[in-house]
């Protein structure tokens, strides 16, 4: 058991480092492969009905998690393994590869900076071309400040979805937890929005994503308070405005980022062919400027590093507590 927790900690750190160095591949990404498989299942199952959508979610997310669990069992075996053994090393490698595959923090920062550079240069056409890499908003309906706001909001939300939430579920469930969270998050992005096609079919994926994202979003908001340049502002905005957002998980994250950076987020946006009027977050602050994107990316990176440290430490502490409660541990202590 001790080797298992230490192995996860080593694998998570290596996978995080891998994302920093290599980011996401432009072709052949495992998440993209899952998305293609989920789309194929959708073509066979789609009906304008919640039950069929729930079956789609269970088959895709449950199948991915079950496959990851079988792979982890095959790599690690059933008996405890030392971290330095061949089987222990294989477990570390599997965890590292999975963490690298599910994290997206470096790609998030890269795309945000691409839009920022275009906005700073005054090239709105290039900025509009790159914005869909970050979010699903209609870029043609946005001017420069509105695109800057969209980028900062996307950086905030995806810090939770693409980094912190995955690390939380990895600490709780190992490789299957990592894969299950990324599968649920991907399904929500595919079918969880309120378009006529997915209002019923995507209901289960959206609700499951809300549940899965809850712990990661709260940890993200808390770490934003700790890591942000304005801690009081981040906490104040989180408390005042976090619950006003239509998303139960994006609200605390975006509000805390708004307060930490001293900017105003929220308001009217065009998304998926419709216009939404969302509550304003940290309304007394000035609107987002292009320079604020770089500040948001740096804050996201600090939050991500803290999330890795927090989740790995929690896993190691929980493992030590479980070992201390085992009867064999008590007998060994008394024999000494």
Q: Which residue in 253, 247, 238 sits closest to 210, CA to CA?
A: 247
275 vs 32, which has greater pLDDT?
32
Token pair, residue 333, equals 């202590």
Q: State whether the Cα torsion 137-142-144-149 is positive or negative.
A: negative
Q: Which residue in 190, 179, 249, 265 sits closest to 214, CA to CA?
A: 249
Tell whether the model's pLDDT for residue 2 goes beyond 80: no
Inter-CA distances, 279 with 68, 107, 138, 269, Å: 39, 28, 19, 11
Q: Which residue in 152, 123, 122, 113 sits closest to 286, CA to CA?
A: 152
State phi, psi for 270 to the nearest 5 degrees.
-105, 125
Confidence of residue 206 (pLDDT cuts 50, 70, 90): very high
Mean pLDDT score, 119-131:
95
DSSP state of 154: H
pTM above 0.85, yes or no: yes
Tell whether the model's pLDDT for residue 310 goes beyond 70: yes
Tell whether the model's pLDDT for residue 293 goes beyond 90: yes
Mean pLDDT score, 279-299:
96
């Amino acid at each position: 058991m001790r080797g298992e927790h230490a192995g996860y900690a080593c694998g998570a750190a290596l996978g995080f480092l891998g994302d920093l160095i290599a980011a996401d591949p432009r072709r052949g990404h495992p998440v993209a492969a899952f998305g293609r498989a989920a789309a194929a299942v959708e073509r066979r199952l789609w009906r304008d009905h919640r039950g069929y959508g729930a079956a789609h979610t269970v088959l895709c997310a449950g199948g991915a998690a079950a496959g990851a669990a079988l792979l982890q069992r095959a790599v690690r075996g059933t008996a405890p393994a030392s971290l330095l053994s061949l089987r222990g090393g294989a477990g570390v490698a599997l965890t590292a590869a999975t963490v690298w595959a599910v994290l997206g923090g470096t790609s998030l920062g890269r795309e945000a900076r691409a839009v920022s550079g275009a906005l700073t240069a005054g090239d709105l056409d290039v900025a509009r071309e790159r914005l869909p890499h970050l979010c699903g908003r209609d870029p043609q309906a946005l001017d420069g400040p509105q695109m800057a706001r969209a980028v900062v909001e996307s950086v905030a939300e995806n810090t939770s979805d693409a980094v912190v939430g995955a690390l939380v579920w990895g600490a709780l469930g190992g490789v299957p937890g990592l894969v299950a969270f990324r599968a649920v998050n991907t399904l929500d992005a595919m079918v969880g929005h309120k378009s006529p096609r997915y209002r019923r079919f995507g209901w289960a994926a959206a609700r499951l994503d809300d549940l899965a994202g809850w712990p990661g979003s709260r940890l993200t908001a808390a770490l934003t308070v700790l890591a942000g340049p304005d801690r009081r502002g981040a906490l104040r905005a989180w408390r005042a405005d976090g619950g006003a957002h239509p998303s139960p998980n994006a609200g605390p994250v975006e509000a805390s980022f708004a307060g930490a950076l001293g900017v105003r987020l929220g308001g009217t946006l065009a998304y998926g062919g419709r216009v939404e009027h969302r509550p304003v977050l940290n309304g007394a602050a000035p609107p987002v400027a292009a320079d604020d994107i770089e500040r948001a990316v740096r804050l996201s990176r600090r939050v991500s590093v803290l999330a890795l440290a927090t989740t790995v430490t929690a896993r190691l502490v929980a493992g030590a507590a479980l070992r201390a409660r085992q009867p064999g541990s008590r007998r060994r202590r008394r024999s000494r």
